[in-house]
Structure 1
């Protein structure tokens, strides 16, 4: 069965547009949004100077020295997008938010009312420009995926023509912001499948056996079909979560706090029935008696944090970007699962995939943070660097796990695999001896003075060295006035009669050895 006709309204480079409005930048100033040291969006002016998505920040600034770098802020993007959604909703009811910068509307109703798809596209463009003050592009096709790609090109694809439209497009189009398929796209490209049509021509059984479930979903999109076959269920009527607020919510920070608990309650109720939400309805009532409603669509099943994010973004948009309720606070909030699917992603995985246990642990960690503060629960994020201590950054649970340094640049002298399983907070003093009992050092050319035979760690009795590897000399920031840092690293496996084997990572700096990591 062919997908329904969909109208997609796309505002190009929306994170940059929203960030520029908040920062007060003029349209002719090149700007880019950077996250994890990479460009995630850039303006047309910046692209004219050679800036593009995926570039490192330094490379982008090298191509365009006057580039203004903006922070990645999903809350800001969603808040600024609310006037655009309101403008589209005034013309076509049933607006669904896919993400800030992209909304979808069923094509059937507006097409009949305005007298055809070209008239709908022209009317939406004019109204969005007049009411929201931004430019947008319209795409109409069979299915959300094809309509989104059509909007990127400003095209109206004829009915039953989505498969032909998609066939000539690059396989890289499968990698969209809402669905990270960079690994799959890279693999397909290396296999010689350069277009969506070439991928769609493969038998589905072969795709399933080689690429798994995500490959099958991508294969359906390449064929111009919906990502999932029609296996959706009508949500039970008792799943709507309602919250009343007294006093009314009139501040963004209060709305952010209030969105957490109902989001977790809705997610728990769906999980208990083996369901997951892919279209979330958010309704609210204000003190002035105005009724507000918005629908958010998601490619993947919404987790509890995902529901909470969308509720927070929507309340933020209503409280700060709309003038229709004249500053009246929100007295009622309802979360409605508009469309649900079987919640396979919520079940425990057979081979350790994320499942119900991970969700339950995440909710428990959030409760701990609520009692002890965000800094009470930290997770390690692995990034770039040469020694294990520099590569790990601790961030509070729930925050963006962005590494302190980009892991992609070359790191000459980086510790080879395997990495230590335990890194002491303070390095442990060590003594490295040869078979004659003399101290082992490192020569100026990075070679050991003699072979390690025994190693004493933190004042304990020496242990015999069974095998060792290295040394790996590292000279960092030698151009700085202080001389930077120069050291040599060594991996060794020690014999421990009572405790078994012990493997350590040692570093020699200024003639002294210390333990930087322990392998367990």
Structure 2
């Protein structure tokens, strides 16, 4: 297997999309943690997993980018196309990493060394990015070889992997952080030490996840070579009238098509690990790409890859962009495995904490109804709420389109100094309502230099309503926002007040010296 790797691709793609030089310090952050950084940022001390504040303190000129998988896939399409011009059978493992079988191409070009030289020159000229190439037995060993620009002799993968750190098992998308931490605590520091264990001991201690990692450490393939060949009728084809020429329309279509494709595989007890995406335009142009995934693809994973591929096709440069809209699309399972992950629903139903049959059916009916409404209003017409971390009630709720991943961007379980205590308001206003907080003399209640109220709250007048007497109150809670906040530096003060009408309100002051009180929310 030959693997071509573009180092720091998320950071490189983000810089290219923003028009920033790839040689400028930059990093991609998610949930306030660095996911990838450029070589210049790494030279300044920025590392993966570092907090944003720490990274900016080490590199004040650091350019901060957000995560955008569609952007990464779209900009990587020219690189994959450049590889495909020389070698057939290109498989996109993830944006920034492609794999191709090496035997036929090496024989055609006169050896592996000559093939590597041609690919490096061709991709640099056509794709305009730096890349590294590695050759070894199996995708995992070839990927690590690409990180080191190494050509491993056939049959020598175990010797190549043996001295490498056990942390190499935790590749992007593999989610083996807990396993790697456990192996380190047990004293297994290298892949060779882990590979020396017997399969029986690994399975009894670490389960199926450990067995897969053990196969990789031994230089074997992720799955046994006797994989099932998918029946031809499992391919799904869809024609479009009018043809698709917008990414948002393609993204919406991909969700429905991915559901049909996944359901057909599940009916045969299969799951897809290599997905073929093929399309044709009105003018007879045919497009195709194969995506490889280490784990069986879910409906959302299939839809994401279709959307990424359409972004790469429809937003490519003038030379790589199709000359007409896409008239048909076909999804083909290039490789399948036993659908072990399909047992998840049955397992959940049989456990006390899972969903029962009635709840599962109700969830499916609700999902179909929301999809129908989304079909009428468009992809951005239906939203669901995700609970995020934050200090105020409005900050903790984020709306995501129906069908998109509902993963939180910031962990809610982390300590948030100044967070409002439970319970949260039942109603949170999109636009704060003006209010006046008065003391017993009718004067406005302010905030002292010690960030305390200047007087005991006695009455609250909301908008143009007459004042209502304050029966009880709690607070204040202050949040000191720094220069990095969207609204700039300042102090936000919150108090809870129970009025004589039986209504409790959450009052917020935005300024410290001359506070203007507003009603942020109302309690039941």
TM range (shorter): 0.7 to 0.9
Kept in 2: contact 1:369–1:377 (CA 8 A): no
TM-fit CA distance, 1:362: 9.1
Provide the C-alpha distance between the structure 2 equivalents of 1:244 and 1:478, rounded to a whole number of angstroms: 52
Kept in 1: contact 2:179–2:210 (CA 8 A): yes
Provide the C-alpha distance between the structure 2 equivalents of 1:110 and 1:517, rounded to a whole number of angstroms: 69
Provide the C-alpha distance between the structure 1 equivalents of 2:28 and 2:490, rounded to a whole number of angstroms: 34
**Could you tell me the TM-score, scaled by structure 1's length?**
0.76
For residue 6 of structure 2, what is the aligned residue in structure 1?
A: 11
Q: Which moved more, 1:398-407 or 1:112-121?
A: 398-407
Q: Which moved more, 1:9-18 or 1:390-399?
A: 390-399
Kept in 2: contact 1:143–1:224 (CA 8 A): yes
For residue 280 of structure 2, what is the aligned residue in structure 1?
A: 285
Match of 2:214 among 205, 208, 219: 219
Match of 2:247 among 248, 252, 263: 252
For residue 190 of structure 1, what is the aligned residue in structure 2?
A: 185
1:148 aligns with 2:143: yes
Kept in 1: contact 2:281–2:325 (CA 8 A): yes
Provide the C-alpha distance between the structure 1 equivalents of 2:5 and 2:320, rounded to a whole number of angstroms: 24
Judged with a 3 Å threshold, the aligned counterparts in structure 2 of structure 1 residues 311 and 474 are, in CA distance, closer, same or farther, namely same
Query: 5 Å matches for 1:298-447?
Result: 298-321=293-316, 323-324=319-320, 327-347=323-343, 348-350=345-347, 364=368, 366-367=371-372, 369-370=374-375, 376-383=382-389, 393=398, 395-403=400-408, 405-406=410-411, 411=416, 424-425=426-427
Judged with a 3 Å threshold, the aligned counterparts in structure 2 of structure 1 residues 413 and 206 are, in CA distance, closer, same or farther, namely farther
Counterpart secondary structure, 1:142 = coil
Kept in 2: contact 1:384–1:404 (CA 8 A): no
Q: Which moved more, 1:189-198 or 1:272-281?
A: 189-198
For residue 202 of structure 2, what is the aligned residue in structure 1?
A: 207
Deviation by residue 1:206-232 (Cα, 9 ceiling, x = unmatched): 221222211111111111111222352
Provide the C-alpha distance between the structure 1 equivalents of 2:366 and 2:299, rounded to a whole number of angstroms: 9
Judged with a 3 Å threshold, the aligned counterparts in structure 2 of structure 1 residues 109 and 211 are, in CA distance, closer, same or farther, namely same
Q: Which moved more, 1:318-327 or 1:304-313?
A: 318-327
1:81 aligns with 2:76: yes
TM-fit CA distance, 1:351: 5.5
1:59 aligns with 2:69: no
Q: How many residues align?
A: 447
Judged with a 3 Å threshold, the aligned counterparts in structure 2 of structure 1 residues 199 and 413 are, in CA distance, closer, same or farther, namely farther
Match of 1:262 among 257, 271, 281: 257
For residue 499 of structure 2, what is the aligned residue in structure 1?
A: none
Judged with a 3 Å threshold, the aligned counterparts in structure 2 of structure 1 residues 325 and 43 are, in CA distance, closer, same or farther, namely closer
**Could you tell me the TM-score, scaled by structure 2's length?**
0.75
1:130 aligns with 2:136: no
Provide the C-alpha distance between the structure 2 equivalents of 1:189 and 1:361, rounded to a whole number of angstroms: 46
Deviation by residue 1:31-81 (Cα, 9 ceiling, x = unmatched): 111112111111000101111111111111111111111121111111111
For residue 465 of structure 2, what is the aligned residue in structure 1?
A: none
TM-fit CA distance, 1:477: 3.8
Deviation by residue 1:73-107 (Cα, 9 ceiling, x = unmatched): 11111111111111100111000010111000001
Kept in 1: contact 2:3–2:99 (CA 8 A): yes
Kept in 2: contact 1:381–1:401 (CA 8 A): no
